[in-house]
Structure 1
Amino acid sequence: MKNLLEGKYGRYVLPAVILQSVLMGGGFATGREIVEFGAKYGALGWLGGIGIFIGFTIMAILMFEFSRKFQLFNYRTLLRELIGPFWFLFDIVYLLLAILIIAIMASATGEILNSTLGMNYWVGVILIIVIVGILNFYGKGLIERFKTLGTLSLMIGYVIFATLVIGTTWESALEVLRSGDTSFVTGKVSVFAVLWSGILYVGYNLAVYPAALFSIKRQQSIKDSIIAGIVGGILMTFPWFLTYFSLLGHYPKEEVLGATVPWLVMLDGFPLIVIIIFGVVVGWTLIETASGMIHAFVDRLDSQIKDIANQELTDLQKGGIAVGTLILAVILAQVGIIDLISKGYTAMAYAMIVVFAVPLLTIGVYKIFFKK
């Protein structure tokens, strides 16, 4: 495993794998996210997916290269180089968004584990808190291995779920595309509205990018950044399209597109083992998302403590921060998944675009190409 991580896989694929694994929880695990940011537009939703791929790819390439060129491997040092004294604004938005994403996933996981495995809501949530705490206690080495194996398993799982759903509803999906059906939303749907929805999706998911910074140390040239960025864009968008086409076969049914966890409704009627596997997979996505985002935040705290007091966080303190963040998220989860996604994600998307996307596309591009 060590030789694999230190070779081309570590330079080209691992940063993309980490991005995708952290994205899964907040990006498409429940299916609700794809409804809000694309699938609700029916036949035109695929345009949002194209915009999402371009956005994810460009932002990944720029962040990887900015990090590599200036040797910035946690988001505190990266943001200080990018936006100077205003770096703390990203800190605020990032932590709020991390808690929001984890809250949504905790709520979804509790509901899914209860529906699929008959597990008590709180037993499932507490189990995930413990696992994430352990991962942050043992640090990035375990997290890298966990994500490499976990992401492969998750992708296989989502491909199976999408294949089952699409295989039984493909004719319906084609009919939606042929007829140009956008009836789930009221009024005429413009191309701009669909593309803007894709931009917002990329915007709130920018919070997952710092989770990959620690893996950039292996990259050696701008070629590595470009290849890793393209791989990242593909890995991050592929599950979006799988979920989109799965939802399209049920368009515009309110019982699916209006569901808290649309995947559960779409898989209803399939063998019980499929539902159980789905419950396990979604639980795993929460673990990957939570551990990745919290690890990035812990790295940022560790860096500041080193600067101020010349000390480091202990493994116990890192695990404690992870557990504390998860507990706050579980409290927030009581608000409800639909409101958290439609209102919370949209607000955080605008904030993340302002404090990260715009500076990276302007100041970042200038420094990458003109600053030595």
Structure 2
Amino acid sequence: MDKRSGVSGTVPFSVCFSVGAVLFSSHAGGGFASGNQAFQNFVTSGWLGPFSAVFCMLIFTLTIKEAMFMYNSRRLTSYKQLFETLYHPFGRIEIFFEVFFYIMVLMAVGAAVATAAATLNAYFPFGGASYYWYVVAVGTAVMFCTIFGAGLVRKASTIMGLGILISAVAIFVAGIFKAPHLAREFAVSYASDGFSKLPRAVWIAFNYAGFQCVVIPTMIVCGTPLTSRRACARSMRISFALNAVALALSVIMLTGWAPVFTALPKGATIPTLSSCRAMDIPWLSGTYTVCLLLCLISTGVTTVFGFTARFEKMKIFSGIESAPVRCAFVSGAIIAAAMTVSMAGLTNIIKYGYGYCGYLAIAIVVVPFLTVGAYKNRRFVREHPEYDGREGSSVETAVTAAAGD
């Protein structure tokens, strides 16, 4: 039964797990799957990298937990209302999230195009084709699918995402056991750095969690079955375990192989693939490459399709009667912008684009939700204890009471 009409306070484990898995899949985008995010943010922190990665996922899941509960308990209908509730009584601040969201979507699509182009350039250097020609080819393919085949690609994206996660974790585990420099890298880092990089490791954790908060609009919609505070917390504990284990394994594996892939030309652009190829396990690297490309293209298509669906009905396009033509104009503009971003290269997108957006998100998303948002949610539960999620409680009474406030 829908939560808005009253449901039991006890949410099944399967529902909590499915919502947690959505956050896991959302995190496993181009930056994570390529290993570039882990390398740029955590491997460079030395022996503190894996701990920073786990701390980052704790911050991230706690932020999403507060956002989902605030959205569900107040019966909100959009992420604009969510941020209005968070910032109340101060108005108009929510526009900063809009700016962050649009920039990050362009960065995400740009990163997907850049990763796919870099992978194709590494594996299929036909006729000496440059990276930039592959950017154009991938961007064109994404736009074509957006206009004519987005539905089919969207349906396949879940399978592709699962494939990339399974193959990536397999690479992480195999890479840890086969890493030639793992123990030495951690020992040298600990001996030379000690705790001098601790402030940086903490800051990186907040920054990484910040730019990942671009998934909030998706998560509050997927998380509507989580009608109580405890259900939101349970789901995010599951997601924390999935994300923390995967990211920490990635950081540990890449730390061990860093001397190998950083010595290769452009080996640090897609370090997971470079490490996999260095392991000399052809079937694993081949499977990973196929899943990576399909996942990246489907991510680009679904993201651009969402933008197209929102903006194609603007007045500026009202004179165009054909829906495919309207979609072509909108998606073409978005793809052009994303392709321009992708020209900067995956490493620069993640280092600078994601980095600066992360700084903004710390101020407007992470810190507000973990402080003001957590306080408002706790106060709401004290006033409406049915939303706490204890066994046998009912949310229906709380929904009625909230509607009368």
1:348 to 357, 365, 374: 357
Deviation at 1:38, TM superposition (A): 0.6
| 2:293 corresponding residue in structure 1 | 283
Q: Quick check: 1:238 aligned with 2:248?
A: no
Q: Deviations over 1:30-59 (max 9, x none)?
A: 212111111112222122112112112211
Q: Quick check: 1:31 aligned with 2:35?
A: yes
Q: Deviations over 1:312-333 (max 9, x none)?
A: xx89867865554233111211
| 2:335 corresponding residue in structure 1 | 326
| 1:41 corresponding residue in structure 2 | 45
Instruction: Give the paired residue count.
Output: 351
1:247 to 247, 251, 254: 254
Q: Quick check: 1:367 aligned with 2:371?
A: no
The structure-2 alpha-carbon separation of the partners of 1:291 and 1:93, relative to structure 1 and needing over 3 Å to count, comes to: same
Could you tell me how far apart the structure 1 residues matched to 2:106 and 2:284 are? 30
| 1:65 corresponding residue in structure 2 | 69
- Structure 1 vs Structure 2: percent identity of aligned residues? 19
| 2:224 corresponding residue in structure 1 | 217
| 1:128 corresponding residue in structure 2 | 142
Q: Deviations over 1:180-219 (max 9, x none)?
A: 3587x9x984212112111111111111222222212222
Q: Quick check: 1:265 aligned with 2:274?
A: yes
Which residue type is aligned with residue 205 of structure 2? G
Cα pair 2:157 2:295 within 8 Å, conserved: no
Structure 1 unaligned runs (5+)?
A: 1-6, 306-313
Cα pair 2:311 2:330 within 8 Å, conserved: no
Cα pair 2:167 2:284 within 8 Å, conserved: no
The structure-2 alpha-carbon separation of the partners of 1:52 and 1:14, relative to structure 1 and needing over 3 Å to count, comes to: same
Which residue type is aligned with residue 233 of structure 1? F
Could you tell me how far apart the structure 2 residues matched to 1:97 and 1:298 are? 16
Cα pair 2:67 2:369 within 8 Å, conserved: yes
1:55 to 44, 47, 59: 59
Please give the secondary structure, in 2, of the residue aligned with 1:249: helix
| 1:308 corresponding residue in structure 2 | none
The structure-2 alpha-carbon separation of the partners of 1:226 and 1:339, relative to structure 1 and needing over 3 Å to count, comes to: same
Could you tell me how far apart the structure 2 residues matched to 1:8 and 1:287 are? 34
Could you tell me how far apart the structure 1 residues matched to 2:212 and 2:188 are? 31
Cα pair 2:304 2:331 within 8 Å, conserved: yes
Deviation at 1:225, TM superposition (A): 0.8
Deviates more, 1:155-164 or 1:318-327: 318-327
Q: Quick check: 1:108 aligned with 2:122?
A: no
Which residue type is aligned with residue 209 of structure 1? I
Deviation at 1:128, TM superposition (A): 3.5
Structure 2 unaligned runs (5+)?
A: 1-10, 315-322, 381-401
Please give the secondary structure, in 2, of the residue aligned with 1:327: helix
Deviates more, 1:122-131 or 1:55-64: 122-131
| 1:75 corresponding residue in structure 2 | 79
The structure-2 alpha-carbon separation of the partners of 1:363 and 1:134, relative to structure 1 and needing over 3 Å to count, comes to: farther
| 2:161 corresponding residue in structure 1 | 151
Q: Quick check: 1:337 aligned with 2:346?
A: yes
**TM-score of the superposition, structure 1-length normalised?**
0.81
Which residue type is aligned with residue 289 of structure 2? G
Could you tell me how far apart the structure 2 residues matched to 1:317 and 1:211 are? 25
Please give the secondary structure, in 1, of the residue aligned with 2:277: coil
More helix by share: 1
Could you tell me how far apart the structure 1 residues matched to 2:307 and 2:81 are? 12
Deviation at 1:109, TM superposition (A): 0.7
How large is the Cα RMSD of the aligned pairs? Answer: 3.4
Q: Deviations over 1:314-358 (max 9, x none)?
A: 898678655542331112111122222212221110111122222
Could you tell me how far apart the structure 2 residues matched to 1:210 and 1:177 are? 38
